[in-house]
Amino acid sequence: MRHVTNLCVRGYHLDVYGHVNNARYLEFLEEARWRFFEEQAVIEAITGEALAMVVVNININYRRAAVIHEELAISTEITRVGNKSFVIHQEIALAETGELIADTDGTYVLFDNALGRAVAIEGEYKVLLDKLCG
């Protein structure tokens, strides 16, 4: 299941070079993931059990700089669900033309806050994430 979040580049997103700073893209991607998971009621299902979805690896390919007033479309989809981790693929593109700004594949785990460690993805969590997978 693919989800798209639109964001407009604002002045406070820019660095001294007049384009979106590389670190800011992580915030854009996180905002899109939260919207995706909130709309699919994943946040309530997982955090209600004192679990968190934690990034353990993320690699970003920067394709083109984004600048002020550009409307960005951030697509988010789960592409793989394993026994202990899942992968989320995201792309940031210009909303109007689809020109790719950046893309990423991130690996996430379910983290048990009480135990202080990642736990197996099983039962209702496996069913929920599988349902959302590509």
CATH number of residue 113's parent domain: 3.10.129.10
- In which domain, by residue range, is 29 found? 3-132
Q: Are 119 and 111 in contact (CB under 8 A)?
A: yes
**Per-residue DSSP letter, 64:** S
Exposed/middle/buried for 5, CB within 10 Å: 0-12, 13-18, 19+?
buried
Q: Kindly state the tokens that stand for 60.
A: 């970003």
In the residue annotation, 130 being an active-site residue is answered as: no
Q: Kindly report the pTM of this predicted structure.
A: 0.92
pLDDT at 47 over 90: no
How do 117-119 and 3-8 pair as beta strands? unpaired
pLDDT digits (tens, 9 = 90+) for 59-103: 999 999 999 999 999 999 999 999 999 999 999 999 999 999 999
15, 103, 105, 112: which is the annotated catalytic residue? Answer: 15
pLDDT digits (tens, 9 = 90+) for 4-44: 999 999 999 999 999 999 999 999 999 999 999 999 888 88
Cβ-count burial 45-65 (b if 16+ within 10 Å, e if not) = ebeeeebebeeeeeebeeeeb
At a CB cut-off of 8 Å and minimum separation 6, what does 89 contact? Answer: 76, 77, 78, 79, 103, 104, 105
Length of the chain: 134
